[in-house]
Structure 1
Amino acid sequence: MKRLIYTVLLFVSISTLSFSQEAVEKKSPPEGNALVGDYYGADVSKVSENKAIPVDKLESGLKDSKRIENVAVKGVVTDVCEKRGCWLTIKTEGGNPFFVKMKDYAFFVPTALKGKNVVLEGVAEKNITSVEELKHYAKDAKKPQSEIDAITAPKEEIRFVADGIKVVN
């Protein structure tokens, strides 16, 4: 009986380590060309580009409120996390980058999304990002060390947590 219990425990331990190793090894962003009509995360195929608001209008809407839920925003992707595709930035008309994370890290995007027009659905909120977190994202974006070292103060910015992202024309 002891032998059976030890065998089962050994099997469970090996299985757990195997699955953990598999999760750790999956570090690169998904493959793909990010073609018009492709979507990532929740199915946003029903979201019309016409119903999505420009990022700059979202910025003005957040002056009155700290958080806006269930909003669709459109913009051009300027950067994608090269490590996993776990965040991206959107260009605003005012030139400020708009930072986007994926909800609960439930999905990632390919680096080919850079330069594409997208519609995002999710939650926008004002946020103060710590120096440590800003440096982390700068490292992920493979910024030069001098640029990373220049980050010395927290930054107030709009953060977007995307439920889904759709590539549009």
Structure 2
Amino acid sequence: MGKILFLTLLLIGATYCSAQTTITPAAPGVSYGNGVEKGESIGLATLTKKLNSDSVYTGRISGKVIEVCKKKGCFMKISDGNGDPVLVRFTGYSFFMPQNIVGNEVIVEGKAKVKETSVKQLRHWAEDAGKSKEEIEKINTPKKDVEIMADGVLVNKG
């Protein structure tokens, strides 16, 4: 009985440790997380108009990747070139983005909402993004932004 339990725990641990250890380079048609297929999506300007401080939008959102976490790809920022960038995180840290995704058009599938981000979290993300110590120290007020929790990401165009 003890051996079976040990082997089961070992198998679970090995599976957990091997979850997306290699990240497929970004290219048109490559999908991360839950499979996302081409189709209709809304742009960031439309998303911003749909959301108010207490609503949630569930669906597909398109934008251009302008930044990705330099440590392990655990978040990215997308933009339409007109407004503030939108932070995209990944449900349960179950998948990550490759560094070469910056500059690609993507379709993100998930839930978007307005969120207030603490100074501590903003500084952590700035550090992960490779910002200088001086830039990080300038962060001293929380910020309200649209944030997306993505179940999947599709590279639409390179």
* Counterpart residue type for residue 67 of structure 1: V
Say if 2:29 is the partner of 1:37. yes
Say if 2:57 is the partner of 1:82. no
Cα deviation, residue 65, structure 1: 5.1
The runs of 5 or more residues in structure 2 that have no matched partner are none
- Asked if 2 retains the 8 angstrom alpha-carbon contact of 1:29 and 1:85, the reply is no
- Asked if 2 retains the 8 angstrom alpha-carbon contact of 1:29 and 1:82, the reply is no
Query: Of residues 148, 162, 166 in structure 1, which corresponds to 2:154?
Result: 166
Cα shift readout 1:5-55 (whole Å, capped 9, x = no counterpart): 7xx6xx94xx76xx48x84xx8x974433110000001112x31xx11111
Cα shift readout 1:131-161 (whole Å, capped 9, x = no counterpart): 0000000000010111100000000000100
The runs of 5 or more residues in structure 1 that have no matched partner are none
3-state DSSP class of the match of 1:53? coil
Say if 2:31 is the partner of 1:53. no
What is the distance in 1 between the residues matched to 2:21 and 2:131? 18
Cα deviation, residue 64, structure 1: 7.4
- Asked if 1 retains the 8 angstrom alpha-carbon contact of 2:115 and 2:144, the reply is yes
- Asked if 2 retains the 8 angstrom alpha-carbon contact of 1:92 and 1:98, the reply is no
Larger Rg: 1
What is the distance in 1 between the residues matched to 2:75 and 2:81? 20
* Counterpart residue type for residue 166 of structure 1: L
What is the distance in 2 between the residues matched to 1:136 and 1:63? 26
What is the distance in 2 between the residues matched to 1:165 and 1:31? 13
Return the TM-score normalized by structure 2: 0.85
What is the distance in 1 between the residues matched to 2:125 and 2:142? 13
Return the TM-score normalized by structure 1: 0.80
Q: How many equivalent pairs are there? A: 153
Say if 2:51 is the partner of 1:62. yes
